Structure 1
Amino acid sequence: MEARARFERGLALVRQGAWEAALAEFLASRQAYPTWSATSSAALCFQRLRRYDEALALFETLLHDFSQKLPPDTRNAAQETVVRLRGLVGTVDVAGAEIGASVMIDGRRRGDYPLPAPLRVGAGSHVVRVYKEGFEPFETRVDVAGGQVVRILSRLQKLVESGRLRVTERTGAALDVLVDGYTVGRTPWEGPLPPGQHTVELHGPGALGTMPASVVIQRKQMTTVDLHAAELTSTLRIEPTPVCASITVDGVALGSGIWEGRLSPGWHRVEVAAGGFVTGRRDVRLARDTRVVVPIALERVQLGTPPGRFLIELVASPAFVPSLGGSAAVRCSGACSQGIGAGGVGVVHAGYELWSGLGFGLTTGYLQVRQAVTERRMSVEIQDRPPEASGTADDALALSGVLAGGWAGLSLGDRHRLSMRLGAGALLGAVSDERRGTFTSISGLEFDLDRTVARDSASFLALTSEVRAGLRLGDHLELTAGLAAVVLVRLKAPVWANPPEGVYGRVDAESGFFARFEQESLAGEVMVAISPGIGARYAF
């Protein structure tokens, strides 16, 4: 019943064009109960997936094991396919290795030396590895044509310098230990390895195992790794072009050539690199109980190819300042109150970003922030009257100006990006104070001051730090959100300046007089603006 159910699921997946998933179902059906229909269907899946050596082996099994049961037209089609596939399949003959050495081709273990027969491979480039404990690993790339036999002399060299690695499983379970893709024993395991970086993982029954972990072996030292096995319900296969490209998953180097292994569900970062090619990066999401194949074809580095690309980013956001400083803030006490400065900022970043993620460029923008200070106690000098009067004034302060400077930053990630940027420049603008108030002279005369605006130029050194997260919507456009902090260091202090005739104090509708405020600073020496906002980034 299980074999039949698996076979039916495989047929449904074939109709959807899901050849990888269909292959898994047909192979499971064969394992439960081998039939010619499941064997033929699995062979066809191998063929559609261009795994010609495996397709040829299964078609030959079909003709050998089920010859008497095959319908004539199916037998004829299989025979024709075998003839055609033999022209697409070559063989690799491994010679000269140590007895018992493990042989792998494209990340798949093919047996121990001496092999019973040369190994079939699809026509094309392949990575062959030979490993035995106590020896330097052997690795080479071969190009095999259809029908060709390529002989490899893989003489292993004894380790001259080595360290030792001890691998244990946290719960004490006995699991297979794989080092650099080779099965070397079961936990707890200890053995010699060449100095340098290696990859360790554990495999157990079913989906039990660990994701690849990176270890560094030191000369004549013991390195201990304690891994915790869990159910890894997702499978990832990476097929790089060129086949000799090195593969890294989640920061762990996995060697060169095709790699396939079990990982936990979720997002994983894949990087493929080869000399003379542009490094390829992918963010891959794995669902439970799925097998995902990721082909990554690298682009050659062309002479004259730019090392990066130009970019422009537009950011609009609110801006908040705890205080604009200056005398209004410093002398605000008692019943006086001051709000948080609030406003907005618009910025344009233009620059150049290298493929490594390092970038640099220019910034320009506009910042405006307003702050209210109410019921501030102060005095005013009355002209042509008894000179002193005291009362309360309300100040509406505003800082505005143009931002200009340079920036340098680093971006990480592909589709989901994290960017960090530092900037330095200047804010050139002005600070204004719109003031009004109610005062009482020493003679008891009460009067209101008309609204008076003082405005003075100001300049600041602007130091910016920023963190942004981005989501790419294509090859060029990216939406961003982030948080920036701008430290403003005063270079030229803006001050209150009375109008030439003074400020007007109104006693009633028909009478009044002019007065003057003392000169005072409108901005502090150092201010900090916080700006959370959204933006859009376009890379050319």
Structure 2
Amino acid sequence: MNRQARQGARAPRTAALLASLLLVGLPLPPASAQQTPATQRDGAPPPAPAGIAETGELEIRGGEPGALVTIDGLGRGELPLAAIRVPAGVHAVRIYKRGFVLFEELIAVEGGRLATLEAHMAELQQTGTLTIVEPRGRRADVLIDNAIVGATPWEGPLAPGSHTVILRGDGNTGTEPVAAPVRVDEVTSLTLAVEELGAELRIEPTPPGAMVAIDGVIVGRGAWSGRLRPGAHEIEVGLDGWVPQRARHNLTHAEAQTLRVALSRDPDAARGGRRETQILLELHAGPAATPSFGGGVAGACNGTCDAGLGVGLQAGLRQTYQLPSGLVYGLELGALHLGQRVTGRPTSATPPGLAPNPGLADDDLALTAFLLGASTGLHLGEQRPISLNLGLGGLVGSVSAARRGTFRTAPRPDHDSADPYEVDVSQRHLALSLYAAPEVRAGLMLAERLEVSVGVQAMLLFMITQPTWDPGRSTVTAAGDGAATFPADPLTGRILLTFTPSLALRYRL
């Protein structure tokens, strides 16, 4: 499919420069290094001594033989090249060869020193075709993404994406920057008429790796120099982690102007804050504890028996969405196991029609369940974040009771002695409940996407069904009294409280 574009055409102006970076076909460095040139990592290029126009040398290694080298928009020949003398400072190096991805890099050159740039050029895997003609047949240099690629008429393969095209003719003639969208296996045609451009502008951004756009067309990273029509132009400069700048700048005829734009740090970025909604996975686990199962077993142990602390394990997987404000919401799936031992509890086994048989029972109570629910909360900070969460959901599982003990038959007219006997019986019952679980966590970022945290959660279980010992399901042999049953004691209370200190790993997708 062919597309025609005239010289006066302009891409729609960006609402914000950073949003339009997604359309750029040039490779960008990681956000942490975008603001610095290749040989500098301190956020500023090496200054030249005041009043002295120092020069250094730049050596380009690697690359592809025959590739065209452009430095700061000026052609410097084909690879391989001897060391190139350039002014001290930061320079934008672009290397083009047909069939390869455009190489682009910023490099700082110190006065009197040799700087070395390793150029690694990858072959294009997917391409579209761009054709450029000058309607009156004038010859002009073709710059694509600020790299000289040839002269008009020009046709060649490019990586899919948006590219910036400029024609540079003799003297002050040429074209203003134009955006050229290239799509896979399609042909994009541009017809650009060379004209007299009466004004000249140089834009010098700080940090030197900032992206520059003119009238909505991205012209590349770092300093840009070129000719434009006299009049008002909209200039945008932006870089991830810095507050973007946008302003209208007036150019007059036959005037060369330099515009220096210094960005300021984004306060949110300086605090490590992120502006996009994040998707996170969290895995947490830890020991669980409950003061008491409550009910008619552990809850009835008021100094007459020994009920230890209920202990177990809780683990869960949580998927959440974190908004830029720090608000977090998501879903959680987990598992809980708790056990409590009650020893020496006075109770009785009752044969039908006879007096209760007294004795002391040891009960092992256990709750095993799965949890499914939703959570919401706040995640504050980045390097050492604090999280406040509230989980709400349901629990489904079972409560089991294993009972052992020694009992004695009750005296009766035909048998006046009390015969001892042992019992060993167990039951399992369905457990359904709702839960509410507030939680607080303190974390530490181990890597850009990985956080480790410790925290504590308190969980209130509101039992929908209260598991209760069923006399009809289990009988014991009561010596000469025959079969006997235990009373219908609730195995848990209506509300069960648990505490879980835990360790968690949180990963940002």
* TM-score normalized with structure 2 length: 0.49
More helix by share: 1
What TM-score do you get using the length of structure 1 for normalisation? 0.47
